[in-house]
Amino acid sequence: MAYDDLPFRMLAASNAMTEAIDAGVRAAGYPDLRPAHGFAFVRLSGPGCTLVELADHMGMTKQSASTLVADLERKGYVRRSPHPVDGRATMLTLTPRGVAATEAASRAGRDVVRRWAREVGDERLEVFAQVAAVMAREGRVRPTW
């Protein structure tokens, strides 16, 4: 079996997932979000992060991350609060609206995985998931811009 087209197929699968999640998020009532926002939400979920941590996660400058956060804050998805340990830093966290949008994205992602399971079978998808876990160790969930 030739593996020459594996990079293309992996990128195409990733793009298919991103597009399906984007469509699901929009259908769930969040038409003002775009995929880059979702990649930011990955890092903002849970306890949140600082602007510097978000910029590093996204692979962008602090100034670009600040613009992104200001947009998400204006739209009601992100809030700023004092950092619990570093008085000079600000914590960024998702608002309830941001959490709900993230849940919509998760549902859309699960829908794609269920469709793939129907198409290739549960056992084959499970093997792929195990292999992908090894392959993904070196990667990040962020846009490649």
Q: What is the C-alpha to C-alpha distance for residues 61 and 77, in angstroms, rounded to an integer?
A: 21
CATH code 1.10.10.10 for 6-138: yes
Which residues have C-beta within 8 Å of that of residue 62, sequence separation ≥ 6? 51, 52, 55
Which residues have C-beta within 8 Å of that of residue 40, sequence separation ≥ 6? 54, 57, 58, 68, 69, 72
- pLDDT tens figures, 61-96: 999 999 999 999 999 999 999 888 887 889 999 999
CA distances from 18 to 23, 25, 34, 68, 86 (A): 9, 11, 10, 19, 35
- pLDDT tens figures, 1-31: 678 898 899 889 999 999 999 999 999 999 9
Domain ranges of the chain: 6-138
pTM of the model: 0.88
